[in-house]
Amino acid sequence: MNIYIYGSSETELEQHSDYTIHFSTAKELTSQIMLAAESDIFIWQYDYPWNVNDISNNISTNKFDSWNEKQLNFLSIIKKAKRKFIIFNKSVITLPEVFKHITNPGEKIENQSECNQKKNEILNVYLGILFLWGKKYWRTLEFIDDISLRPTGVKALKKSTFTSAPDEKLALAVNFLLSLECNNNKTISLEESINLRFNEIATLTLMLQKSQKLYETEVSKNNKINGIVKTNNTELKQDTLVLQEQNNSLENLKKEIDLINITNNKYHNKINELNLELNETKKSLSCRFNELAVMTDMLEKANRNISKLQKKLDAANEKHEKIKNSFSWKATAPIRALSHPVKTKKEKNTKKLNDTIQLIRESVYFDSDWYLSQNPDVKNSGIDPARHYLLFGGFENRDPSTKFSNEIYLELHPDVKEKGINPLEHYITFGVKENRRTSY
């Protein structure tokens, strides 16, 4: 169960297990009533207006109005809410006594009010003023005091209780009114000050109007400028759109140029590849031309030798014819045929060439794999590397291996170069026996 307490700031209360205590403000009253359970209890504590502040030092009807309005608002809420409320005057009963009454309703409530001369003087001032002047305050006071929780034997406050000694109360009320007159004089002085301030405000108002006109003029100028800016922005947007279209066209052109460049690069790469192939072909042709030159030279030498041999052959044939026509040659022909089988000159030359190729191949100065790796055109042609070296490579300054240099051997032995013999063939056949050097 919850207990909501309004109009108090006390926090040191004995806690009980069967309810929870909440100290709330008057502003929270309405919302808490709507959210609270049916069994929850609401407590409102109030006080007489003369106990709220020391009115003897500050007498004002505003104090009555504030107190009266607060109590009437509360009374209006509890009428609409129809909830269980406990109302008490904290000048008569303390909050702990109220809690005792909630937990033990039959227990006697003790009166906690204290009477002294000071409080009686204040009470007389208030009651005198209320008796003469404040009927509405008396109605609220009597009503709320009538429904409050009270100790046994203590009666509710009634206006008829204070009808005695009206002259004394009247004097107190007059003193109160005199104090109000003093306050009126102060009010007049304040009004004069206010009028002075109003004049100052009027002057400031004129200045404000001038400033307002200047402001309106500036606003008009700003509006014109804004119009120009708006026009410029419109033109800028149009120019931006045109620029965007131009940029798009430029991007498309760039893409086309990139494609053309890519195509050109492909063509350039293809051209480079063809140039490389052409250079290789030129190199190969150069090698072939060199080979042809060597073969032509060899052929010319061979032709010269053939011419010489032909002459010798013609002379030998003449001599041979004479011998063949002789009687002795004819008589011994059968015997020669049986002892010397016939071999042609071509067969003899072929055998000699093959023997020389085999001699080159088996030499430690010839490396077939190295020769082919250094001369890819020979490898691509499919020619036997030893045959190629013997017939062409030696004359083209192609070394047979890393162990033998054609150029060095020919420089050291120019007679070999003059004879036109393959350098390695000469070294194997003659140079080794003659102790010829192969290096510097």
pLDDT digits (tens, 9 = 90+) for 311-344: 877 787 777 777 766 656 555 555 555 555 544 5
Both tokens assigned to 191: 């009004």
Residue 323 vs residue 69, higher pLDDT: 69
Taking residue 389's Cβ as centre, other Cβ atoms within 10 Å add up to: 30
Inter-CA distances, 18 with 6, 304, 402, Å = 20, 145, 115
DSSP assignments along 336-394, one per residue: HHHHS----HHHHHHHHHHHHHHHHHHSTT--HHHHHHH-HHHHHHT--HHHHIIIIIT
Could you give the maximum distance between any two Cα atoms of the chain, in Å?
A: 210
% of the chain exceeding 90 in pLDDT = 18
Q: Using an 8 Å Cβ cutoff, are 144 and 71 in contact?
A: yes
pLDDT at 413: 93
pLDDT at 114: 54
Residue 263 has pLDDT above 60, yes or no: yes
Residue type, 226: N
Contacts of 156 (CB under 8 A, 6+ apart): 142, 145, 146, 148, 150
Strands of the sheet with 20-24, listed across from one edge: 20-24, 2-6, 41-46, 85-89
| Phi, psi for residue 402 in degrees, rounded to 5 | -75, -10
Residue 291 has pLDDT above 50, yes or no: yes
Mean pLDDT taken over the chain:
79
Q: Pairing mode, if any, of strands 41-46 and 85-89?
A: parallel
Both tokens assigned to 146: 């009538």
Residue 287 vs residue 89, higher pLDDT: 89
Taking residue 361's Cβ as centre, other Cβ atoms within 10 Å add up to: 15
pLDDT at 386: 93
Confidence label for 358 from pLDDT (cuts 50, 70 and 90): very high
Query: Rounded to whole angstroms, how far apart are CA atoms 148 and 126?
Result: 21
Nearest residue to 21 via CA among 44, 4, 46, 39: 4
Dihedral angle of Cα 238, 243, 249, 255, to the nearest 10 degrees: -140
Residue type, 48: Y
Confidence label for 387 from pLDDT (cuts 50, 70 and 90): very high
Q: Where are the domains of the chain?
A: 2-162, 346-440
Taking residue 139's Cβ as centre, other Cβ atoms within 10 Å add up to: 13
Confidence label for 345 from pLDDT (cuts 50, 70 and 90): low
pLDDT at 381: 87
What tens digit of pLDDT does each residue of 185-212 get?
A: 676 787 788 888 878 888 888 888 888 8
pLDDT at 56: 47
Taking residue 10's Cβ as centre, other Cβ atoms within 10 Å add up to: 13
What tens digit of pLDDT does each residue of 238-258 get?
A: 988 998 888 898 889 889 899
